[in-house]
Amino acid sequence: MRIFLALFIVMTISTFVGAAEVAVGQRLVEANCSRCHAIGLEGASPLAKAPPFRAVVKRYPVENLEEALVEGIVTGHNEMPEFTFDPDQALAIIAYLNSLKVAK
Residue of the chain from 22, 38, 65, 94 that contacts ligand HEC (CB under 6 A): 65
Site track for ligand HEC across 3-42, x = CB under 6 A: --------------------------x--xx-xxx-----
CB of 7 to ligand HEC, least distance (A): 35
**Which residues, other chains included, contact 24 with Cβ-Cβ below 8 Å and sequence gap of 6+?**
89, 92, 95, 96
CB of 42 to ligand HEC, least distance (A): 18
Closest alpha carbon to 36 in 25, 49, 23: 49
Taking the mean position of all CA atoms in its chain, how far away is CA 77?
Answer: 18
Whether the CB-CB separation of 31 and 67 falls below 8 Å is answered with: no
Q: How many residues bind ligand HEC (CB under 6 A)?
A: 21
